Amino acid sequence: MNAQKTTVPNLAPVVTIKLAATSDEMLQCFALRAAVFMGEQQCPYDEEFDGNDYTATHIIMYVDGEPAGTMRLRWFQSFCKFERCVVLRRFRGLGIHHEINAWCKEFARRKGYTKAYIHLQKRHLAMMEKEGFRRVDDRTFNFSDHEYYAIYCELKPPEDAVTMTTMPMVVNRPEDRLHEEGVLEKSASRGATNPHVSTERRPN
Amino acid sequence: MNNTPRSIDGEAVTTRLAMRMEDSLQAFAVRAATFIGELDVPYSEEFDGHDFAATHIVAYVGNEPAGAVRVRWFQSFAMPERLAVIQRFRGHNIGQLLLERCRALAESRGCNTLYTQSLPADVKYWEKQGWRRLVAEEASPGPKRIVAMVRAVDPNKPLPEMAAEEAIVLRREAQLDAAGLPVGTVTN
């Protein structure tokens, strides 16, 4: 038999995940949440934008350059809370929420967290169990018209998790690129000229 | 035809110009819920680069953002667009209230003409709000994706008839690049 080699064009969508680091990227996160929670699930604005957005870390996911998903992370002493996870309707069914979960787990691990914690709509339990999450206890509770379980997952901290003994300038890097030199390390080449010393205070 | 709502279930219905970051965010959230969430419009089409050169008006039911519209300003007309009302607040003429606020704002700025581009399915809605087709007869047959609509800011001063081609009144606006110029016009 003469096997013919054909080149199959790579049609897999390009998925990019990053820390929302600019106002535009934050707006994309907020717009996706509004689309899904307010548009599809009839959540009131005040419940969706609950006052915690400016104490949190936002993650944005693109599919072929188009904003497609987001997650909000909040940092407590003993765990990282994953919340407001969204995949836009037309990007569902590709399994890309697994990618955003995995990205966020890695992100939290690198910051030294050993537990990810989620308030999960009951209907999604089986899906999240496959990702290693289990219920904290048997409580159920409800808010914004849905029933929830508290679930968590252990994260194994990597050897290079950030601690107080990590190189100081590594701690200053953009948090989703701790392995790359950051803008402040480049600034170190300017030396410590202490420019404030020559600045006169304007008299009142 | 002043049947605009003053309250829904005891909650006051109000409109206000977006003047703070949070107000604009509310306008964007209402549009995202409606256009991206319900109608599957891509983010990059909904947030098209004109939002920070426009005026946003938000409608509230009590404290809850319930509707929004964006107005862009041109030398010869004001252009209300991106009119959205959250699903559960529809049927209370909130859209009409928002458009009236646009009209009053245009009037206060000495503008005579309101212009918008409507989907064919929405033409009846705009006509009910006192708008008419800019070009009375469709120039060419076949399915149209958008229809140019106009309304006089002062109903006592009707607009003159226009004889322009559809190709002119519906000219597609260019996407802007980082320099604020139409994409492709700067070559260096």
Report the CATH number at residue A31.
Answer: 3.40.630.30
* Same-domain pairing of B92 and B164: no
List the single residue in B43, B63, B86 with the smallest CB-CB distance to A38: B86
What is the residue range of B150's domain? 112-171
Is A166 among the domain residues? Answer: yes
Is B180 among the domain residues? Answer: no
Query: In terms of CA atoms, which chain A residue is nearest residue B42?
Result: A66
Please tell me what DSSP assigns to residue B182.
B
Q: How many domains does chain A have?
A: 1
Is A7 among the domain residues? Answer: no
Residue (of A91, A87, A74) closest to A33 by Cα position: A87
* Same-domain pairing of B24 and B58: yes
* pLDDT at residue A1, as a whole number: 47
Is B178 among the domain residues? Answer: no
Query: pTM of the full predicted structure?
Result: 0.86
The better pLDDT of the pair B167, B7 is held by: B7
* Same-domain pairing of B93 and B126: no
Q: Report chain B residues whose CB lies below 8 A from the CB of A32.
A: 32, 36, 43
Chain B nearest-CA distance from A36, in A, is 5
CATH number of domain containing B82: 3.40.630.30
Q: How many domains does chain B have?
A: 2
Best to test chain B binding among A27, A63, A90 (most B CBs inside 10 Å): A27
The residue type of B174 is A
Q: Report chain A residues whose CB lies below 8 A from the CB of B63.
A: 46
Query: In terms of CA atoms, which chain B residue is nearest residue A47?
Result: B64
CB B67 within 8 A of CB B30: yes
% chain A with pLDDT above 90? 78
* Same-domain pairing of B88 and B124: no
Is A182 among the domain residues? Answer: no
Chains A, B: CB pairs < 8 Å: 68
Tell me which residues of chain A have a pLDDT lower than 50: 1
Chain B nearest-CA distance from A62, in A, is 11
Is A24 among the domain residues? Answer: yes
Is A127 among the domain residues? Answer: yes
List the single residue in B28, B38, B86 with the smallest CB-CB distance to A31: B28
The better pLDDT of the pair A84, B137 is held by: A84
Is the pLDDT at B8 greater than 70, yes or no?
A: yes
pLDDT tier at B143 (50, 70, 90 boundaries)? low
